[in-house]
Amino acid sequence: MQYLSTRGAQLGQYRDVIVEGLAPDGGLAVPAELPTIDAALLERWRPLDYAGLATEILGLFATDIPRDELARICRTSYRPEAFASPEVVPVTSLDGGLSLVGLSEGPTLAFKDLAMRFLGEALDLVLTEADEVLNILGATSGDTGSAAEHALRGRDRLAVFMLSPKGRMSPFQRAQMYSLLEPNVHNIVVDGVFDDCQRLVKRISEDVEFKRAHRLGAVNSINFGRISAQIAYYVWAWLRATDAVPAADRDGFEVSFAVPSGNFGNILSGHYARSMGLPVRRLVLATNENNVLDDFFRTGHYRPRTAANTLTTSSPSMDVSRASNLERFVFDLLGSSPERTAAAWGELTVRGEIDLSAEQHRFLPELGFVSGTSTHADRLATIREVAERCGVTIDPHTADGVKVAREHVEEGVPMLVLETAKPQKFAETITEALGVAPAIDAETRTLLDAPQHVTEIPDDEQQLRDLIASSALR
């Protein structure tokens, strides 16, 4: 499988794109051609466990990694002992046609573990074979950072430089990251919001010379390794949702997915799964008060907010105004044309928005996208209602998904809501909704009390460069 940039450059194969992160021309890696899946293949995959299914899906994209190696790293990434549920991704029904796809059973209690654990193993494999090292530079609004650091901690050939916005993450999220003391983990707290962190990372990553000199890579959701690994759970969830459907009716049996969204990484994998042939009716995009993407899907106008206009909400991992992965979707929307995609991003730079209203009629039904916004009040009401009706405590992000999912349920079409985090991560909001804090086990208590270590910097590119230059692996 060959990869190219949304702006046109040829990027090589899977190994190359997972190491490179952002393409040298500033675009994002996409497969030259999407593989396809059909009913016969899906039935063949039905008996597989999660690691087995992930091997099959990732094998379609990582064609340059030998199958036995891929199987080995999927077994390691998705061994049931590393997850709270033996199925790795349990699917449980709520009410009103909704089910919850349990993506947060991993060590950092968020869906990002699923893709990050695989990417950590895959990078290790590639770097070991090439006898190289890589310094991962990233920005986090909370869950990316902890998933990345937990997936990469203690590895010899990888270091992590993770930027996080000062004072914008929950105490649990901070503890998960800042308590890691491995020498290959560097927590850098920036005096700014998530978008400031992301901009610093983007600027440095666009400096090809600096990036090469210090062997920088990225595990942000722009890394295609993560996007490809996430496709596996859409297929897994479809299989589990259709296990009880009579065999004769499974071919083409449609389900919908609701996805709490920020950087557009998670739902992009759903878009790819659907484009590959998975029978998906709707992709329901849920945003919080930072509803740039809801606006986009309603109007075709993409107007990212400035950092100053990005609100701090009670679903902080979705406090994103510039959805970096949207470029891949727009590339598809514009007929896989690098010229048109580059022109659209040029327009964004000049005018601060992209007008794709001429394409908006294709969002539905062709591409299956609908969207909605959930507010703090919706979040609290939804957490309360799901706890009362179903006896399940959901986290604030998943609550945004449930709220918007309910607005798009169709008769006879299962609505699968992706659970993106566990409630323990966001105790304050759970307490506000339910009057009691989520149960905290001894392990969590120890984590919250552990000493923390960070390096603080202002929103300043030069200071970040100096820091990387002095501590990167070489």
Ligand X SMILES: *Cc1c(COP(=O)(O)O)cnc(C)c1O
Closest distance of CB 73 from ligand X, Å? 22
Pick 116 or 333: Cβ nearer ligand X: 116
- By CB under 6 A, residue 108 contacts ligand X: no
- By CB under 6 A, residue 112 contacts ligand X: yes
Closest distance of CB 110 from ligand X, Å? 5
- By CB under 6 A, residue 260 contacts ligand X: yes
- Give residues 182-221 in contact with ligand X (rule: CB under 6 A): 221
- By CB under 6 A, residue 397 contacts ligand X: yes
Residue from the set 224, 233, 264, 329 that interacts with ligand X by CB under 6 A: 264
Pick 120 or 260: Cβ nearer ligand X: 260
- By CB under 6 A, residue 262 contacts ligand X: yes
Pick 6 or 104: Cβ nearer ligand X: 104
Piece of the chain touching ligand X by CB under 6 A; list 36-44, 171-179, 231-239, 254-262: 254-262
Pick 110 or 344: Cβ nearer ligand X: 110
Catalytic residue among 112, 202, 422, 425: 112
Residue from the set 56, 113, 143, 327 that interacts with ligand X by CB under 6 A: 143
- By CB under 6 A, residue 263 contacts ligand X: yes
Closest distance of CB 388 from ligand X, Å? 22
Residues 6+ apart with CB under 8 A from 20: 11, 29, 217
For this structure, is 112 an active site residue? yes
Piece of the chain touching ligand X by CB under 6 A; list 70-78, 95-103, 173-181, 257-265: 257-265
Closest distance of CB 471 from ligand X, Å? 26
- By CB under 6 A, residue 292 contacts ligand X: no
Pick 330 or 457: Cβ nearer ligand X: 330
Q: Which of 224, 65, 201 is nearest to 135 (CA)?
A: 201
Q: Which of 398, 387, 409, 15 is nearest to 228 (CA)?
A: 15
Residue from the set 223, 266, 424, 444 that interacts with ligand X by CB under 6 A: 266
> Are 196 and 307 in contact, with CB atoms under 8 Å apart?
yes
Closest distance of CB 204 from ligand X, Å? 20
Pick 242 or 266: Cβ nearer ligand X: 266
Locate tokens 């501590």: which residue? 471
Pick 139 or 235: Cβ nearer ligand X: 139
Residue from the set 317, 374, 382, 444 that interacts with ligand X by CB under 6 A: 317
Q: Which residues bind ligand X (CB under 6 A)?
A: 110, 112, 143, 221, 260-266, 317-318, 397, 420-421
Q: Supply the residues annotated as catalytic.
A: 112
